[in-house]
A and B are shown apart, each in its own frame.
Chain A
Amino acid sequence: MNFWNKIDTLDRRWIYLLVAISVIVPFILPVKLPVYVTPETQQLYDAVENLPDSSIVMLTFDYYPSTIAETEPMSRVALHHLFRKNIRIVTVTTVPLGGPSMAEQVTREMAEQYGKVYGVDFVNLGYKANYVAVLKGMGSSIEAIYPTDNLSTPLSELPLMNEVKNYDDIDFIFVVADNGIVDYWISIVNALYGTPVGCGVTAVMAPKFYAFISAGQMTGLLGGMKGAAEYELLLGQPARATTGMDAQSLMHLLIIGLVLMGNIGYFVGRRQKGKKA
């Protein structure tokens, strides 16, 4: 049995071991491979950068805990950028599992760093069920959909929410999501109310949204951990996404190698079978 035949019958656990090594090693011996910024990330960064002081941005936490490796760094870079520019933030989530608590935890942690005050500089509206009704309803009145914030404080008692009645008072929507809700932020909110929408999505979802960028329906896109790393680079604040990129690159090289080996093994096997016949 030659090498290529052995590959055919290789125990898959050897591949898992190779994957584990190629992910762990870059954290112990970082190579710091360069990350370049794609036009889509630059577009999102510029859209936020060009917002005037004291603008109001709606930031969404539309993701489940299972994807925080990709999405939480996006929320953090968004919060860094927005707080740094003194932009006021209204956070919402349409995801019940994890979304509300992550919005609360991450936003308060970042707000503390920048000395921002709850109710004045930022508000967390939390979760409401039935996202289509929520997205449409906020176009008429946010208070009708969210009579209270995430911690049950009436919106009338929060100074920031006295200025925010519906999408007309929102200058930009920064969606961070890991599911199909992004379609509705575009097809309902952007299309019906004209509020510009920029998105950070998981890598699995990203290819779909290039068409929306080209059509001008979306202002900028962050695709997965790479997108978050690019934004960290633009902000000059390397964090978890940047440190993860070495492992990401090494893993991609490994997968390319495995795909090539698998294909060569297949063709060699087919040739040998042809000779025998």
Chain B
Amino acid sequence: MDARLREIETNSALSGAKWIALKHIGRSNPVAFVAMALVLAVIASLAIGPVSLSFEDVLKSLFHLGTDPRAETVVWQLRLPRTLVGMIVGAGLAVSGALMQGLFRNPMVDPGLIGIAPGAAMGAAAVIVFGNRIFPGLEVLYLLPLCAFMGGMIVALMVYRAAVIEGRTSIIMLLLVGIAMTAICSAATGFFVHLSNERQIRDITFWTMGSLGGARWEIVYVLTPCILIPLLITPWLARGLDALNLGEREAAYLGFPIEKLKRWVCLLTAIMVGGCVAVSGVVGFIGLLVPHVIRLIVGPAYRRLIPLTALGGATLLVFADMIARWIVAPAELPVGIITSLIGGPFFLVLLIQMRRSLTL
């Protein structure tokens, strides 16, 4: 741990102050630090919005101690489910990114890589454009997450099937077939957009940029097991993923059931990303950025990486969603724009400054 920090420190040209801060996080308790950031982001997310609430209002409403029924309604009916969905989706996307990066042994991998996100986008676009015609009367609100999830899973399954050669999962085939399927799905999505009317185009655009606007308690109930169960399974994959860092063959020589490991990683990622994308659309950059930053702080060992990545992803998305609601209030921006806006430049600066110590 200390050695890693020393190395980061000596190899980076980042300003001293920032690294002293990071070093401090690393040496004390990074989990406590990120958890605290998450609590702050959650409180801020509950307080900030068109109806501004004080810290006191938020706490009172949360524990039903308040005398202000309006504040309680805002917190419990609107902001709490939305914040919870933000936490779950953020954690799910970030951990999926960490898993995929471990599987591909590459820090540049995004969880959308094996076609889940583009498949889900295709499913969503299909529902938005044709949903009312095929199932008149059925509420699009429920059909959309379902079809997005199905679209993501079907495409991920096809990519996975195509990548299994003689019983072994070829990682490079996974990547290439994923790229091909992404192209096909994007073409289909584009075709649906072509057939759509103006309002539908807006819906599709909003959806493909990601938004937590659809969050409510029902979604919290359905989404939670979708993310939480895979999250609770991931610690069992940690040792195998650490060994995979050496390469598949080496990990197998160390006694790890590599085929099983790869299957589990694909399955868990597909469920988590499918679930996330189904409720929030395509929120960019979290799966790429969060594991990367956490890895710089605590190193690539998965036992530490996974919980911190989950907390970090939750924090980032809750925070970004708060900004998305606040910056153009009373309207709101798709949260994907904010995450990309925060993530893109931050990532770029990180890459440029860490260039010498990174071996990509």
| A and B together in one complex | no
